[in-house]
């Protein structure tokens, strides 16, 4: 039950920070999402993101910060097996599913749907 | 005269509802967060998966939903209301790719879709990869592995 | 430079509008409304804009019972890169074509040039046309503003449609009495979501020079119109002109607020685009002038003449406004 609460809190909080940045600066959504990815990577490096995932469950996996976390996580796991080369070898281990599904969905949907608005 | 113009502009430029937006986005984002946890538990139960794998399937679910809603033209309308609550999660990433692919389809598979599909998502991928290398190498230097 | 005209008249107009305009307050005044979708029977938005522009010209020529060879020039422009809609649309006609660009002030620029041609006895009939398309503009300028991008309260929405006007040396009941060409202004604003603020300065400058050159006051006109300053740009213009001793608060409105109803439609600060001023002028305003509601009207459309590339290079947004004075006789 706790996890639901922290999931709500964390995801809501990250989204809110994003909105505040968009409303108060000239940064675009592209800037904000890139910033968050880097922050997610940094937090994982410090071992903090894993703890957040423990408390907030999927609520920590859904924001784009998680993308950074998964990139680092995969890379660091491979580093412990393969040394420095692990950075290159493992970087997409955990994110390959997300990226590839997004690409494939986008492509096939684009073939069948026109922009309407 | 130059300074007075900009003063007058400032006077007649309305402030966005920063507080209202922040609150709404917090709630909407929170609901998405809680819902994703709910989905994760469903997947653990139905498919007998460990939490780690189920977590990945949850993100995939959001990718597919966001892509389909973008294709149907519904996602744009939702983003107007939910703003960052839809752009910050992985849904924003998927939406940017599907909407870009749809927009440029008429320009061909290679020069249209191929050249533009990562138009908005590319920056996330770029800085994600670069930060992994930078942080990773820094960490290896400082901690030695 | 303000030029006075003695034998330039408006023969007729043709206007084509789309979904948002149909739901607006002056939908009954348009010649043609296509509200099925944004494709206008074609398969891309760009081709739709081209076809709307082309149709507005051909249907205008039909309306006045003339043929291509009767028209001396078409002067046209639009918001697309390389004014593609105009260039491609003119393939349908056997008429000499001069393409022009000043963003949302294009229509007034065209009338300025066309009126000068006719006054100088260089020709008898000139058609001035413009078009805009919401989806084409969104897509093209989407670099600074993104897909599901969050719009601000000051954002104006590009209108979709096309308008053509036939200027002639043959007397009619609407006369073009004078026109003032704009001077580029730039107050250092680079917010694409606040075009009202970007362009109000251009309207102010042109109005000041116009009134000065003709030695008249603002109340000489029954109505002064800007093209697409939106609700906030309108306020800025009124206050800024007041500081120069010019009061337009009683006889001034903005076409972007006439074309769309801000209270009923999700249009933020109002309509924008080259056809914002063109549609309102050619349909509603000229009609009201013929009915006797307005006798002397000054139309001052403004244009934000920037490029997305320069915007990314941290340049601000320049603007320009051309003024056209009309009188019902």
Give the residue with greater pLDDT, A17 vs B143.
A17
The answer to whether the CB of A112 falls within 8 A of the CB of B71 is yes
Question: Closest to B87 (Cβ–Cβ): which among A29, A107, A113?
Answer: A29
Tell me, what's the pLDDT at B1? 52
Which chain C residues are within 8 Å of B14, Cβ to Cβ?
153-154, 232
Query: Is it the case that residue C1 has pLDDT exceeding 90?
Result: no
Query: Is it the case that residue C5 has pLDDT exceeding 90?
Result: yes
- Strands (DSSP E) found in chain C: 2-4, 9-17, 32-33, 73-78, 97-99, 125-132, 157-158, 161-168, 174-180, 223-226, 252-254, 271-272, 296-300, 302-304, 319-321, 323-328
Q: Does A59 reside within a domain?
A: yes
Which chain A residues are within 8 Å of B126, Cβ to Cβ?
34
CA atoms within 13 A on the CB side of A99: 19
The DSSP code sequence of A27-67 is: --HHHHHHHHHHHHHHHHHTTHHHHHHHHHGGGGTSBTHHH
- CA atoms of B50 and B45, how far apart (whole Å): 9
Q: Which of A23, A24, A63, B79 is nearest to C147 (CA)?
A: B79
Q: Does A117 reside within a domain?
A: no
Which chain B residues are within 8 Å of C44, Cβ to Cβ?
106
Looking at domain C174-328, does it have CATH number 3.40.47.40? yes
* C-alpha distances out from residue C239 to A77, C204, C283, Å: 63, 10, 29
Give A17→chain C minimum CA distance, Å.
Answer: 15
- CA atoms of C73 and C94, how far apart (whole Å): 10
Nearest CA in chain A to B85: A15
C-beta atoms of A30 and C150 within 8 A: no
- Chain B contact probe: residue of C148, C237, C319 with most B CBs at under 10 A: C148
The answer to whether the CB of C106 falls within 8 A of the CB of C274 is yes
Query: How many beta-carbon contacts under 8 Å exist across A and C?
Result: 16
- What DSSP state is assigned to residue B16? P
- The proportion of chain C whose per-residue pLDDT surpasses 70, expressed as a percent, equals 98
Low-confidence winner among C71-85, C141-155, C287-301 (lowest mean pLDDT): C141-155
Give me the residue spans of the domains in chain C: 2-168, 174-328
Is B82 exposed, middle or buried, given 0-12, 13-18 or 19+ CB atoms closer than 10 A? buried
- What DSSP state is assigned to residue A85? G
Give A81→chain B minimum CA distance, Å.
Answer: 11
* Tens-digit pLDDT profile for residues B54-103: 999 999 999 999 999 999 989 988 988 898 899 999 999 999 999 999 98
Tell me how crowded residue C197 is: count the other CB atoms within 10 A of its CB: 26
The answer to whether the CB of C154 falls within 8 A of the CB of B12 is no
C-beta atoms of B30 and A117 within 8 A: no
Residue B65: which H helix or E strand, with range?
helix B51-71
- Residues on chain A bordering chain C, Cβ-to-Cβ distance under 8 angstroms: 22, 26, 28-30, 115-117
Q: Which of residues 38-67 of B touch A (CB under 8 A)?
A: 38-40, 51, 55-56, 58-60, 62-64, 67
Unique residue bearing structure tokens 């290159």: A88
Q: Which of C73, C77, C171 is nearest to C122 (CA)?
A: C73
Contacts of residue B109, Cβ cutoff 8 Å, sequence gap at least 6: none
Please report which confidence band the pLDDT of residue B2 belongs to, taking 50, 70 and 90 as the band edges. low
Q: How many helices (H) and strands (E) does chain C have?
A: 11, 16
User: How many domains in chain A?
Assistant: 1
What is the third-level CATH fold of C2-168? Answer: Peroxisomal Thiolase; Chain A, domain 1 (3.40.47)
3-class secondary structure, C31: coil
Tell me, what's the pLDDT at C146? 45
- CA atoms of A67 and B88, how far apart (whole Å): 11
Tell me how crowded residue B55 is: count the other CB atoms within 10 A of its CB: 26
Tell me how crowded residue B51 is: count the other CB atoms within 10 A of its CB: 16
Q: Does A87 reside within a domain?
A: yes
- Strands (DSSP E) found in B1-145: none
Question: Closest to B5 (Cβ–Cβ): which among C201, C232, C235?
Answer: C201
Query: Is it the case that residue C147 has pLDDT exceeding 70?
Result: no
Query: Average model confidence (pLDDT) for chain C?
Result: 95
Strand C252-254 and strand C125-132: pairing? unpaired
Query: Is it the case that residue C291 has pLDDT exceeding 50?
Result: yes
Q: What is the mean pLDDT of residues C67-90?
A: 97
Strand partners, C13: C165
Is B98's Cβ below 8 Å from some Cβ in C? no
Would you say the CATH fold of C174-328 matches that of C2-168?
yes
- CA atoms of A19 and A16, how far apart (whole Å): 5
Is A93's Cβ below 8 Å from some Cβ in B? no
Which chain B residues are within 8 Å of C194, Cβ to Cβ?
9, 13
What sign results for the dihedral spanned by CA atoms C94, C98, C104, C108?
A: negative
C-beta atoms of B106 and C147 within 8 A: no
- CA atoms of C77 and C50, how far apart (whole Å): 11
Question: Closest to A28 (Cβ–Cβ): which among C135, C146, C191?
Answer: C146
Q: Tell me which residue range forms the domain holding A63.
A: 2-112
Query: Is it the case that residue C145 has pLDDT exceeding 80?
Result: no
Provide φ and ψ at C101, rounded to 5°.
Answer: -150, 125
Question: Closest to A29 (Cβ–Cβ): which among C134, C146, C191?
Answer: C146
Strand partners, C319: C185, C304
Give B62→chain C minimum CA distance, Å.
Answer: 17
User: Using N-to-C axis directions, what is the helix angle for B51-71 and A96-112, rounded to 10°?
Assistant: 20
Q: What is the mean pLDDT of residues C124-143?
A: 90
Q: Which of C306, C1, C316, C313 is nearest to B2 (CA)?
A: C316
Tell me, what's the pLDDT at C84? 97
| First-last CA distance in chain C | 25
Please report which confidence band the pLDDT of residue C92 belongs to, taking 50, 70 and 90 as the band edges. very high
């Amino acid at each position: 039950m706790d996890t639901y609460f922290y999931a709500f809190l964390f995801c809501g909080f990250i989204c809110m920070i994003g909105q505040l940045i968009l409303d108060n600066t000239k940064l675009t959504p592209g800037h904000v999402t890139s910033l968050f990815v880097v922050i997610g990577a940094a937090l994982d490096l410090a071992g903090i993101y894993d703890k957040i995932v423990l408390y907030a469950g999927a609520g920590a996996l859904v924001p784009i910060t998680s993308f950074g976390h998964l990139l680092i996580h995969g890379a660091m796991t491979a580093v412990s097996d393969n040394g420095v080369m692990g950075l290159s070898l493992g970087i997409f281990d955990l994110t390959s599913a997300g990226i590839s599904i997004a690409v494939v969905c986008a492509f096939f949907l684009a073939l069948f749907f026109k922009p309407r608005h | 005269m130059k300074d007075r113009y900009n003063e007058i502009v400032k006077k007649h430029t309305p402030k966005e509802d920063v507080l209202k937006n922040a609150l709404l986005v917090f709630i909407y984002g929170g609901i998405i967060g809680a819902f994703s946890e709910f989905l994760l538990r469903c997947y653990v139960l139905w498919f007998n998966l460990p939490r780690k794998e189920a977590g990945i399937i949850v993100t995939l679910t959001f990718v597919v939903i966001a892509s389909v809603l973008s294709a149907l033209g519904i996602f744009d309308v939702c983003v107007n209301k939910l703003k960052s609550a839809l752009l910050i999660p992985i849904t924003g990433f998927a939406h940017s790719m599907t909407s870009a692919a749809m927009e440029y389809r008429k320009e061909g598979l290679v020069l249209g879709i191929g050249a533009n599909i990562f138009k908005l998502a590319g920056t996330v991928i770029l800085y994600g990869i670069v930060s992994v290398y930078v942080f990773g190498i820094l960490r290896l230097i400082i901690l030695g592995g | 430079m303000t030029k006075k005209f003695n034998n330039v008249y408006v023969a007729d107009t043709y206007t084509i509008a789309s979904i948002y305009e149909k739901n607006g307050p002056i939908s009954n005044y348009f010649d043609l409304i296509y509200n099925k979708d944004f494709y206008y029977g074609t398969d891309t938005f760009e081709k739709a804009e081209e076809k709307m522009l082309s149709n507005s010209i051909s249907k205008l020529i039909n309306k006045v019972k003339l043929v291509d060879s009767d028209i001396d020039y078409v002067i046209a422009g639009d918001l697309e890169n390389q004014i593609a809609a105009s260039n491609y649309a003119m393939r349908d006609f056997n008429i000499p074509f001069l393409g022009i660009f000043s963003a949302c002030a294009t229509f007034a620029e065209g009338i300025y040039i066309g009126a000068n041609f006719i006054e100088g006895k260089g020709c008898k009939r000139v058609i001035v046309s413009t078009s805009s398309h919401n989806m084409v503009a969104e897509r093209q300028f989407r670099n600074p503003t993104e897909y599901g991008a969050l719009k601000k309260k000051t954002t104006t929405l590009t209108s979709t449609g096309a308008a053509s006007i036939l200027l002639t040396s043959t007397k009619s009941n609407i006369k073009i009495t004078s026109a003032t060409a704009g001077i580029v202004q730039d107050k250092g604003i680079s917010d694409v979501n606040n075009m009202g603020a970007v362009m109000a300065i251009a309207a102010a400058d042109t109005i000041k020079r116009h009134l000065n050159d003709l030695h008249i006051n603002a109340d000489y006109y029954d109505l002064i119109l800007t093209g697409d300053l939106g609700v906030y740009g309108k306020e800025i213009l009124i206050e800024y002109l007041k500081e120069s001793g010019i009061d337009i608060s009683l006889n001034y409105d903005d076409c972007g607020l006439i074309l769309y109803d801000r209270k009923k439609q999700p249009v933020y600060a109002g309509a924008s685009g080259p056809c914002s001023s063109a549609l309102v002028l050619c349909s509603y305003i000229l009609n009201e002038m013929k009915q006797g509601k307005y006798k002397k009207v000054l139309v001052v459309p403004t244009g934000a003449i920037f490029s997305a590339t320069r915007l990314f290079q941290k340049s601000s947004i320049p603007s320009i406004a051309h003024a056209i004075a009309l009188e019902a006789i």
